[in-house]
Every structure is written in C-alpha cells, then in structure tokens.
Amino acid sequence: MIMLKNLFKKPEHKVDFENLPQHIGIIMDGNGRWAKKRGLPRSSGHAAGAKTFERIVEDAGNIGIKIVTVYAFSTENWSRPKEEVNALMALLEDYLDHGLERLSNRDVKIHFIGDMSAFSDEFQKKLCHMEKTTYNNSGLLLNVALNYGGRNEITNAVRIIAEKVKDGELSCSDITEETISEHLYTSGQADPDLIIRPSGEYRLSNFLLWQSAYSEFWYSNCLWPDFTKEDLLKSISDFQKRNRRFGGV
Ligand code: IPE
Ligand code: IPE
Ligand code: MG
C-alpha cells in the first residue's frame, strides 16, 4: 500500500538548501487567463492570485529564501479598464488592512518599491504603517512592486543623482554603477539571482531592468493562481543546475 502511494507521489525536486538563490523575483502573471478559463471575471483571477501570493511568501520564507520581490502592479497596468484597476486596488487595500498579522507571524519584513506618489495620502499612510511595523522582522525581506516600472525607477535615480550634482554633494566623475544601484528602490539589497515568470510569457515587462543584468530566468506555462510550492522548488532546483559565468569562462 505504501509503495503504491509512493508510485503516485509527485517527484520531489532536488534542492540544495545550502546554496539557495538569495533573491528571487516573481512576475505574478496569468490571473486574467486563469479567470477566463473558468468563465469568471478577471477580478476573481486577481483574488485567486492574491491567495497564491500569500502562500508563496510563506513557502519562500520556510525554504529559507532571504529576499523575494513580487511584481504586483506595473506603471503600465493603469491602462487597464477602470473596473479592473479598482478591483486590484481594493485587493491591495484589503491586504494593507488585514495582512499585517500574518506578515509578523511569519517574521516577514515588507518593503514597497515603485512610485508611491500616485496613491492617495491615506493609502500611502497604510503602506508606511505596514513597512514600519514589520521593519524589525528578521525573516524574509519581501519587496512588493507597486506602480513599479524599471524605467521609471532608473529615471527617478538619475533625477536624484542630478540634484546631488547640482547641489555640489557629488561630482559627475564620482558617479559609478554603485551610485545608480544605491539610488534604486532596492538600494542595499543583493540583485535577484532568479526571476520567475509563470503564464507562458517570455518577457520582463519592465521588471527590475537594472537589477536583472545577471539574473537567471525561469519560465512556466502555469498561471499564477495555480503556482505551487512544487513549482517554486522546481525553479530553484533548475536554477542550481545553471552555470552562471558573469562574463567569465
Ligand atoms: C497579473 O495577471 C496581474 C497583474 C498584472 C496585476 P494579469 O492580469 O496580467 O493576467 P493575464 O496576463 O491577463 O492572464
Ligand atoms: C506584468 O504583467 C506586470 C505584473 C505582473 C504586475 P503584465 O500582464 O502587465 O505584462 P504584459 O502586458 O503581459 O507584458
Ligand atoms: Mg498579464
């Protein structure tokens, strides 16, 4: 009986827990298609995607990943129908209102990356409150990309650096790659080792443009609401088989 059970057990992916990717980026894509397949409104897909987000954050923390960056809303996503944008914002607000305890129970420190000035003062206060309350948590660092665009992030960094040059705080010749990195929303963090994109799309869609210079990419046809811990382990296991050369031999 036990042998029969083992026969049908899903294969375990061999993961070397001593050599985990430090930072994983996830493009949480495919919510709309997941809903369409079921004859549901796109907002139901986003609600299902939000549940997967919570599950995967917990799994990543348990696996021992140090940093996870999830792409939740891009600078381009404002172009979607108003109804859909409102549904996404309502889900976010619900998370801000009710997600704090779960984050603290899991020792997760949250950090929002993106241009927050697009949101109302009240919404921004909630974002700050969540960041401040989880600031001393020492488990997983979770970056949530909201109104995030890689080009917007680099433009913003250039603007801040230019201001510093203008004010005499910095000279042009002192600007290095590190200067740029230090002025991004992910300042002080390791670059993503692995970027995961489900839903069968093979593009970055403006996600972590600067930081992904040497990231390993992992794609899957699975739609985000269906993404499981097994998929995460498979991506890590595949990542560990890659030969990262960073331009060397
Ligand atoms: C990702 O799912 C969620 C956001 C972009 C906010 P999509 O809504 O892009 O789902 P598809 O790609 O249409 O299936
Ligand atoms: C990327 O997905 C943005 C997020 C997952 C938040 P999109 O669905 O917006 O990207 P495209 O339009 O397929 O490139
Ligand atoms: Mg999409």
Amino acid at 96: L
Say what the pLDDT of residue 216 is.
98
Q: Is the CB of 77 under 6 A from ligand 1?
A: yes
Average pLDDT (213-235) is 98
Residue of 29, 191, 193, 231 marked catalytic: 29
pLDDT at 221: 98
CB 168 within 8 A of CB 190: no
Tens digit of each residue's pLDDT (9 = 90 or more) over 49-102: 999 999 999 999 999 999 999 999 999 999 999 999 999 999 999 999 999 999
Pairwise CA distance, residues 8 & 45, whole Å: 30
Rounded Cα gap, residues 236 and 56, in angstroms: 13
| pLDDT over threshold 80, residue 4 | no
Query: For residue 149, how far is its CA from the centre of ligand 2 (angstroms)?
Result: 11
Confidence of residue 8 (pLDDT cuts 50, 70, 90): low
Burial class (CB in 10 A: 0-12, 13-18, 19+), 29: buried
Say what the pLDDT of residue 241 is: 98
Cα 114 to ligand 2 centre (Å)? 15
Please report which helix (H) or strand (E) contains residue 113, including its range.
Answer: strand 109-113
Assess whether pLDDT exceeds 80 at residue 160: yes
Mind listing the pLDDT tens digit for each residue in 125-155? 999 999 999 999 999 999 999 999 999 999 9
Sign of CA dihedral 174, 180, 186, 189: negative
Residues β-bridged to residue 70: 26, 144
Q: Tell me the C-alpha to C-alpha distance, in Å, between residue 200 and each of 9, 25, 108, 151, 223.
A: 26, 16, 29, 23, 8
Ligand 2 close to Cβ of residue 137 (< 6 A): no
Mean pLDDT calculated for residue range 206-227: 98
Phi/psi at 189 (5° precision)? -100, 150
d(Cα 202, Cα 217) in Å, to the nearest integer? 9
Evaluate the CA torsion angle 41, 44, 50, 54 in order and state its sign.
negative
CA of 27, closest atom in ligand 1: 1
The CB of 201 under 6 Å from ligand 2? The reply is yes
Please tell me the distance between residue 30's alpha carbon and the centre of ligand 2 in angstroms: 8
Residue 11 reports pLDDT greater than 80: no
Q: Is the pTM above the cut of 0.75?
A: yes
Known catalytic membership, residue 19: no
Cβ–ligand 2 distance for 148 under 6 Å, the answer no
Mean pLDDT of 25-41: 98
Q: 28 in ligand 2 pocket by Cβ < 6 Å?
A: yes
Distance 29 CA to ligand 3 centre (A): 5
Q: Are strands 194-197 and 216-219 parallel, antiparallel or unpaired?
A: parallel
Known catalytic membership, residue 16: no
Q: Give the closest residue (by CA) to ligand 2 atom 1.
A: 205
Confidence of residue 13 (pLDDT cuts 50, 70, 90): confident
